Amino acid sequence: MTRKKIVTVIGARPQFIKASAVSAIIAASGALDEVVVHTGQHFDANMSDVFFAELGMAAPAHHCDVHGGGHGDMTGRMLIEIEKVLLAERPDAVMVYGDTNSTLAGALAAIKLHVPVAHVEAGMRSFNMDSPEEINRLLTDRVAQWLFTPNQASGAHLLREGTAPARIHQVGDVMYDVALLHGSRVGAQGGMLGQLGAAFGIEPGKYVLATIHRAENTDHPARLTAIVDALAALAKDIPVVLPLHPRTRGVLAREGKLAALERAVVLVEPLGYLDMVQMEKHAALIATDSGGVQKEAFFYRVPCVTLRDETEWGELVEAGWNRVAPPRDATDLLAALRASLGTAGKEVAPYGDGEAAARIVQRLVADLA
Ligand code: UDP
């Protein structure tokens, strides 16, 4: 059998993490060759390189070096660069992950050259068309030949939209694969928790971990203020650790809010994956607007408050692990955060068995043969 070629297009932090599971299985398959394209969407060492190093990924073969600018500007420049790569590489399929501009640019570049697209984490919906992520996922799902869904709800969304069932493959969540593979490497000793223990007296099980990066919060001053004020107030009860996304840091600095926040909570740079997992595993509570961090909170059975108007992961709200707290008012948000401390949900298993990546690769090998 001749080996088939997959071009994988990734560019943002969660995509490096998700792709690490699938790339490892592709490399072991003996049936596929993978060429990785890094769009450049996230480029700082601590938003990009650290994940390749920690998760054992080969360096990308191509760098598009596209970042910054508006959505159309960024997506358009990526489209131009990815098309050049696809014309040179002539792959049998293109693989994209999640819901960023890199996802959409990869899918569009491929489909316009009639290269079939595989979408990992297909079918997720927030039903919020104001968010860039929802637009990216809807359009990517529309053109993808293989829709690899992480959970039952995602498949149901696709069916409701009229997607042919043969395109939908419920494989499980690759983030769960990664959590099982790498999460077990992390204990309470040393690492970031050790450093924060020495510097600030932070102890396992006795702090709140927060992340904020979504445009729907960073680009709306009233929402960002509500979040920042609620976290600062919560920090009077229990230490709050906030690894600050570069976009959020930029906005807070421009608005003159960084110094006050730094006095209230423990601000750190974005963490590598293993440090992040350590901080998640030992938190009393996680407060986040991240899609992936909500799930990881559940993987490590830590209660989570979602700082958004809605979540794609409704099953975690139903099971009692997650509470959606729209960031409109600091007092309400603080009440939601306090109410979630010390809670636990029901045992559920919505994200498969840690074999999602293996199923994805098996499917592609069979269909491309
Ligand atoms: N993450 C990390 N360091 C951080 C914050 C997040 O390694 O400082 C990881 C986190 O563990 C998860 C992923 O990044 O695996 C989530 O990415 P992000 O929140 O940027 O994007 P989203 O999931 O919202 O698309």
When pLDDT is cut at 50, 70 and 90, the band that residue 1 belongs to is low
Q: What percent of the chain has pLDDT over 90?
A: 98
How far is it, in rounded angstroms, from Cα 251 to Cα 257?
Answer: 9
How far is it, in rounded angstroms, from Cα 78 to Cα 102?
Answer: 7
What is the pTM for the complete model shown?
Answer: 0.97
Our CA angle for 89, 175, 213, nearest 5°, is 90
- The CATH number of whichever domain residue 236 belongs to comes to 3.40.50.2000
329 with 357, same domain? no
246 with 162, same domain? no
27 with 165, same domain? yes
**pLDDT in the model for residue 134:** 97
SS3 98: coil
* Tens-digit pLDDT profile for residues 161-196: 999 999 999 999 999 999 999 988 899 999 999 999
Say yes or no: CB of residue 173 within 6 Å of ligand 1: no
15 with 151, same domain? yes
In a domain, 181, yes or no: no
Residue 351 has pLDDT above 90, yes or no: yes
- The count of residues in the chain is 369
> Which ligand 1 atom minimizes the distance to the CA of 270?
8
* Tens-digit pLDDT profile for residues 50-61: 999 999 999 999
Say yes or no: CB of residue 293 within 6 Å of ligand 1: yes
Active site residue 213: yes
For ligand 1, the distance from its centroid to the CA atom of residue 114, given in whole angstroms, is: 32
How far is it, in rounded angstroms, from Cα 172 to Cα 362?
Answer: 14
In a domain, 41, yes or no: yes
Strand 32-38 relative to strand 285-288: parallel, antiparallel, unpaired? unpaired
Say yes or no: CB of residue 312 within 6 Å of ligand 1: no
Lay out the sheet containing 168-170: strands in order across: 62-63, 32-38, 4-10, 93-97, 117-120, 146-149, 168-170
Say yes or no: CB of residue 243 within 6 Å of ligand 1: yes
For ligand 1, the distance from its centroid to the CA atom of residue 146, given in whole angstroms, is: 25
Say yes or no: CB of residue 123 within 6 Å of ligand 1: no
139 with 201, same domain? no
> Which ligand 1 atom minimizes the distance to the CA of 12?
20
123 with 154, same domain? yes
Say yes or no: CB of residue 290 within 6 Å of ligand 1: yes
Say yes or no: CB of residue 295 within 6 Å of ligand 1: no
257 with 310, same domain? yes
167 with 262, same domain? no
For ligand 1, the distance from its centroid to the CA atom of residue 270, given in whole angstroms, is: 9
155 with 229, same domain? no
Instruction: Summarize the confidence of residues 227-251 as an average pLDDT.
Output: 97
* Tens-digit pLDDT profile for residues 264-273: 999 999 999 9
Instruction: Summarize the confidence of residues 94-98 as an average pLDDT.
Output: 98
For ligand 1, the distance from its centroid to the CA atom of residue 290, given in whole angstroms, is: 7
In a domain, 267, yes or no: yes
% helix, strand, coil for the chain, step of 5: 50, 15, 35
**pLDDT in the model for residue 261:** 95
- If one counts the domains in the chain, the total is 2
In a domain, 74, yes or no: yes
Q: Which of 42, 157, 169, 213 is catalytic?
A: 213
For ligand 1, the distance from its centroid to the CA atom of residue 124, given in whole angstroms, is: 17
Instruction: Summarize the confidence of residues 25-53 as an average pLDDT.
Output: 95
> Which ligand 1 atom minimizes the distance to the CA of 280?
11
Q: Measured over all CA atoms, what is the biggest interatomic distance in the chain, rounded to whole angstroms?
A: 63
Residue from 308, 363, 339 nearest 148 by CA: 363
Rounded to the nearest integer, the mean pLDDT of the chain is: 97
142 with 201, same domain? no
Beta-carbon contacts of residue 218 (< 8 Å; ≥ 6 apart): 212, 224, 247, 248, 251
In a domain, 83, yes or no: yes
Say yes or no: CB of residue 14 within 6 Å of ligand 1: yes
**pLDDT in the model for residue 2:** 85
- Write out the residue range of the structural domain in which residue 105 sits: 4-173+352-368
91 with 143, same domain? yes
Smallest CA separation from ligand 1 atom 25, residue: 291
